[in-house]
Structure 1
Amino acid sequence: MSSSHTYGVIDLASAVDFRSPVVALSPPKGCSLLDEETYFDTLAVGPWLIDLDLCPDIGAVWRKEVRDRSCGYTVFTDLALADLRRHLRKFALAELEDAPKPVFFRYFDARVIRTFLTGGFTDAQRAQFLAPFDGLEVAAADGTGTQYFEPDAAPVSAVAQGG
């Protein structure tokens, strides 16, 4: 599979400086990961999906600043924006062994995804989450660079900071 899109998944609650340019986007450049009719009042602080290839100004800032912060992560995939949104939203609810009901899973939170990709997911869950991706890049927990995840590779590969 060869990457044709570079997407940013960003939590605007953690990225105040990105709110104005991001909430102005519409498909195919970007969309909210929340149901826009139900959560209209919270779109400016919710999770968003951005096609960084179609948004060069946001993409440039993303590559310099956001990818090394824990407010978002980068996905490399052949999926179209709507298909990637649909795939990610499948992970909105998670069942926990000790919880009587499903819980909201913050799949858009870089800290949560990093934790689950490095051991919180079962192998089957990890494979299902990463299946349509060429890769996923997220800020390292210690802030010294990024971690890169591939569907069929060892769980973590270090990537040098910057770039």
Structure 2
Amino acid sequence: MHGCRSGGWCSVRRCGGMTMYDRVADLLIREAAPIFAIMDGARDRAIPRALHGSGFRHQSLYDGRAAEELGSFGPYLIELGGDAQAIEDWVRTGWGKSFGVYLACDQPFDVVRRHLRRFTLVELKNGRKAYFRFYDPRVLRLFLPHCTYEEWIQFFGPIGTFFAESEDAKSLLRFFRDAEEPEPTCLALESGS
């Protein structure tokens, strides 16, 4: 075991011959609950096009006017379930580029989407509204450790686990709803770390 940048502790998996992407996909596939991805159309314009013919259930987290104005620039919820190839493909495409985050949840797509939509627009202290980019791993890994217990429970709702890349993308950060502390479990992805 050794410390990681996030301040948590990393358990090192030695997986000869596996790439960093393979390790991330393997960790996600091993989850008991189905896997969802939230990918940011603003980070890569190819994301909406890739989703169009994918066959996976997906939908923007934006509705109404926001969906009309922002179109393909918004966050997309994708239900990957336990499809190993799809999980590996999305990880390989976006890992290390802050394209999105993953989550494990045993609830149906509509329940997950309805819950996450509650956080796309937030009210600031001055009363103004702003889009909250929680699906950006750079935001999620800073936001969650600073939540109060009540904020943590409200944000997670039915979701059991959120996953995000670390700052250098060499670790997978796992935030558990039922964790004792708001710090993530940090899993090193490089062999010999």
**Taking structure 2 as the reference length, what is the TM-score of the superposition?**
0.70
Question: Which structure ranks higher in relative contact order (CA pairs < 8 Å, sequence separation ≥ 6)?
Answer: 2
Alignment size in residue pairs: 159
* Other structure's SS at 1:52 match: strand
Aligned match of 1:106: 133
* Other structure's SS at 1:74 match: strand
Residues 42/101 of structure 1: CA separation in 2 closer, same or farther (3 Å cut): closer
2:40–2:76 contact (8 Å) kept in structure 1: yes
Runs of 4+ in 1 over 6 A off after TM superposition: none
Structure 2 unmatched ranges of 5 or more: 1-30
Aligned match of 2:158: 132
- What amino acid is aligned across from residue 79 of structure 2 in structure 1? D
| Structure 1 residue 100, shift from structure 2 partner | 2.7
Whole-Å separation in 2 of the counterparts to 1:15 and 1:112: 17
- What amino acid is aligned across from residue 129 of structure 2 in structure 1? P
2:102–2:162 contact (8 Å) kept in structure 1: yes
Q: How does 1:30-41 map to 2 (within 5 A)?
A: 30-35=58-63, 39-40=67-68
Q: Does 1:8 align with 2:34?
A: no
Greater C-alpha Rg: 2
Whole-Å separation in 2 of the counterparts to 1:19 and 1:72: 13
Whole-Å separation in 1 of the counterparts to 2:169 and 2:88: 19
1:32–1:47 contact (8 Å) kept in structure 2: yes
Aligned identity (percent) is: 25
Say which is worse superposed, 140-149 or 58-67, in terms of deviation: 58-67
Question: Over the residues paired in the alignment, what is the CA RMSD in angstroms?
Answer: 2.7
Q: Does 1:152 align with 2:178?
A: yes
Residue by residue, what CA displacement relative to the aligned partner does 1:49-106 show, whole Å, maximum 9, x if unpaired? Answer: 0011276654221233434431100000011111101000111232333x23333222
1:138–1:147 contact (8 Å) kept in structure 2: yes
Whole-Å separation in 2 of the counterparts to 1:69 and 1:147: 15
Whole-Å separation in 2 of the counterparts to 1:158 and 1:80: 28
Structure 1 unmatched ranges of 5 or more: none
Residue by residue, what CA displacement relative to the aligned partner does 1:3-36 show, whole Å, maximum 9, x if unpaired? Answer: 431000010111334331214467x711111116
- What amino acid is aligned across from residue 50 of structure 2 in structure 1? P
Q: Does 1:48 align with 2:93?
A: no
Aligned match of 1:83: 111
